[in-house]
Structure 1
Amino acid sequence: MTLLFDLPAVPTVPVLGTEGRYPVRRIFCVGRNYAAHALELGNAVDREAPIWFNKAPAALCLSGETIPYPPGTANCHYEMELVIAIGAPAFRVAAEDAMAAVYGYACGLDMTRRDLQNAAKAKGYPWDTGKDFENGAVIAPITPAGQFGAVADQRITLAQNGVIKQDGTLSDMIWSVPELIADLSRLYHLEPGDLIYTGTPAGVGPVSPGDVLKGTIDGLAPVALEIGAAE
């Protein structure tokens, strides 16, 4: 078989403490997983089941990069998140068994073209163009799970140009890490290389060219991003 053209290599993420890199297979994201964030956007808090959406691996962007202001939007927002890196197969697992599938954790930014998302929601359309775009899934180096410990009340923050905009704790999540993995494993055969962005605290807001973002979670490598001029 002869391919008509070459595709880019699978995107990879550095792993702290090793020269090995984590190849990314899929990116899953959960919406409205912090009650205060759901309310600040005028959304109801849904405690029946997590709300899932996807980003393509091509959306991945490594921490420390400068990206152009995203095309097609005049209202791009930051959303600071804990990212789970899956390291073992998981399908229809119970929450009490779900943590065995976790390879590690990272700080991440779920960048969002809010105007496009809101327009799609108003018409009952999918959110794809508001969420899945180049450089829309920013990630810091992964910390292996054993070096991070249990997800509990670690502080999660986002600073824009040195000013704290988001400030919460991981214990504020409506759906815990094992609950998220268990629920997602009902819908997909999770495999090593799958990332899960776990939702964002209140305080999201717009970015502009020249902005510098820095997100932190206690015990993890911070994520950093600079917004450049639009193309």
Structure 2
Amino acid sequence: MNILTKTADGSNTLFNETIGEHYHSAHGALQESRHVFIEAGLKFAVGLNQGQAISVLEVGFGTGLNFILSKAHCEEQQQPLNYVGIEAFPLPLATISQTGYNDYVPATSWQEFTSHYEQALQSKQQLSSFCSLSIAHTTLTDFNTNQQFDLLYYDAFSVRHQPEMWTNELIAHACSFLKLGGVFVSYAITGNLKRALKACGMRIEKLPGAPGKREMIRAIKE
């Protein structure tokens, strides 16, 4: 069961009773998503790609917050976005609609997301002239594709509550979908994660974390 919870910046998240953890930071769901995935991830990767269409793979699609913020930013910049999420336990649309995340993006952008969400769990959907979305209803272990991505959002539950998502083997599997020069970002930063990424040929950067967390990680595939 998921319980709607207000976080410190006024935005909502969900508490997953089965896992025992919130989907986003209790210090601020919105500010964490913007800080880690948009500022440190998307904007950085767009700069590296010099205006070319950008492809994003997200591990842990969850509430869709990272996606809707990415979509809104890319459409504002007229930046084509191809987005693929991986989610083993998709949330019902009714639950996503209760988050209040529609307050943070243009109404048309939110409507395009919610009207295509359930179909995106079945097949790739063209939400607008700038954005496509597909959500693989599977585990990361079982996910496979021939596509190579410019950017990887690693937003699984924490290693404390879901250690199986942070093994060397699974990190390597996720990074195998990145292009050379592709970017990995996560709110998490542990010694084991850094070692796993380095073993995948990634150059590690430690960046200031979102409020409530001292550091986060960004890595580039070399």
| TM-score grouping bracket, smaller chain normalisation | under 0.3
Q: Which of the two has higher C-alpha Rg?
A: 1
- TM-score scaled by structure 1? 0.26
The higher-RCO structure (CA 8 Å, 6+ apart) is 1
- TM-score scaled by structure 2? 0.27
More strand by share: 1
